[in-house]
Chains A and B, each alone.
Chain A
Amino acid sequence: MRKKDRQVPVFIINRLFQAIGVILVMSVLVFVGLYLIGDPTSMLVSPEATEIERQALRKALGLDQSIWVQYLTFLGNAVHGDFGRSFLTGQPALQLIVERMPATVELVVVAMTFSVVVGVPLGILAGLRPKAPSSKAIMTGSILGFSLPNFWIGLMLIMLFAVYLGILPASARGETVNVGPVALSILTLDGWRHLALPALTLGLAKAALIIRVTRAATREVLPMDYIKFARAKGLRPSRILNVHLLKNILIPIVTVAGLEFGQAIAFAVVTESVFSWPGMGKLLIDSIITLDRPVVVAYLVMMVFFLVILNLVIDILYMAIDPSAREKVRD
């Protein structure tokens, strides 16, 4: 908008300030909301406990103070990277999330890889011959893919593969192998069997989107002069496809895939719930239901930062690749 924002460093600082603003607004909301809605100690304390024991617990968790004091304490600690301890487990909230992160990231990476591997060829196909029945089928399929809710697709896959055919497990993570501190499923066959359905669920919706983007990009590139020129030169169609077309549709695809990676991390909440996948999305839902405020807040703060940085990186990359985009990118 304003001229000065177009300089790169200012624009980065602006984004970070925005992120902090969002975090402040959101954390106040979550603090006050969860405070008003229920009493987290009621789930924790034994029903046999006396009032004195209950009070002691409230005090230990800092819940005996006014909500604003609690919030300011939180802010003070958060600046030092301490998001408090989970009410439920007593573990530092951030640690709980970080422990669950590999499972989510693994799921999302596999799903995104699947969506690109399936989506790009189908999208090119649909873009090359927009009138062919196969292309129409692909496009209709992609409407289904991104409009049907994620959990619904998961449900149908469970019904087909786990209940009816009985060939794939419907939940949990299966055998994992530790690579350093990180446990991975993709190194065992059992891990893959467990990963298959959740990754497919998450990946199908993303593939639908990649198809659409690829098709649109293909159709935009095809009438360009360099393609016409290459054709006129008599280059083999496969070479035109591989070199000239792919190279030019790559930018929008990479951009969208990058943005969708962030979306997929958030949407893993749903997939993980359907398949009891022990990732951080499942942790968020459980924490929302048990009003485990420190975990909810820590998760959201992390997600905001992650998404802001992801968007930032994509924009910077975009500007590096395509200088003319600098005018388009808004802070």
Chain B
Amino acid sequence: MTDRIKNTFGALAERGEKAFIAYIMAGDPDMNKTLVYARALIQGGADIIELGMPFSDPIADGPTIQQAAQRALQSKTNISKIFALVRTLRKTSGIPIVLMGYINPVLKYGTKRFFEDAARSGVDGLILPDLPLEEIDHVKEYAVQSGIDIILLAAPTSDRKRLVELLRHTRGFLYYISMTGVTGSQKKMGHAAFESIRWIRKNTQKPVAVGFGISTPRQAKTIAALADGIVVGSAFVKLIENNKNASARIAALTRSLKSAVNIH
């Protein structure tokens, strides 16, 4: 049982800071690079690392992350290799590590085995965008046994009644999708989403992090002001796509986003 996610949000709150959560795709373009890039995120000051687990048919992702998944699959990335990467990262860092991917590769790996191996490797949380609350029983028992947080997503289409349910069942934090759309979308966050996040923070102690479509420090600052943290993914994936060695740029973007979320 790890409490790394809970402790991280706790410590940040005490300091009056917001969480900066960074996403990259594991194995994009290969595992060695992902190790280097994850360390650049840590160096740059990310509070939580999200590692994408590639899937051939990612229905919640826009073109940027779809292509990252394709590159990762071309370099033969699979769940076993991602666990090995997490074990390596764990040797030098206590940063919370969350895996994000689709349910089918998890089922194929074997759900029980997945959670046991994930916990043993030092994984703290799991986000499965195609496993809504209704289907959570497919993983819940094993998640609880392993101590891994199942982080649920909420969307602007989730009504108040559903938000209550999502908040009750999510572990670690609630991942709020800023707009109706896929990852990397250019759509702006709407009024309903702002209202929902305000309502969540008023009515619960659980942290809420906002993601999907946040790429600039300016957006990060605005949205972080009303949440407990923000998630940025596609912006990092684009740096990786466009640069042979993206380490310095990744660290720099992390620093600017991290400082943006803490300006009040």
**A, B bound:** no
Q: Give the B-binding residues of A (Cβ under 8 A).
A: none
